[in-house]
Structure 1
Amino acid sequence: MTTSIISVDNIHKSYLMGKEAVPALRGVSLEIERGDFVCLMGPSGSGKTTLLNIIGGLDEPSRGTTITIAGEKS
């Protein structure tokens, strides 16, 4: 039986630029199993750092709060 060490379900993040909401993440879901090697790739501004900040607890998602790390929901 494999258990995810990191699990993210349907995460959304938007930032306000004036009165306009600019989406950084739209419905991101991710599961990382023990022993997986993961690389986040994408162009500048695609949400890589935003996703890592949310997983690391440095930022909070705008919607979708199901983040599980080592079996503990945050």
Structure 2
Amino acid sequence: MTAALIPLAEWGSRHFDPPKSIHTLRRWVRDNRILPAPVKAGREYRVHPNAQYVGNQTDEVVRGIIGE
């Protein structure tokens, strides 16, 4: 059985202290920084409870290329 998806704001408050603003969380969704990717259900995003913030992976790739 799969876990029920939770609202994005609830996920943010579970994973960050203090919680991130809903605007920041929505930007992360648009920038594909939360995996597995949230699903838009009506007017809100719903997220797997165990989803993770993955940050900006482009920075890691650039650092690897330039040897930092």
TM-score, normalising length from structure 2? Answer: 0.25
Q: As a proportion of its length, which structure holds more strand?
A: 1
TM-score by length of structure 1 reads: 0.24
Larger radius of gyration: 2
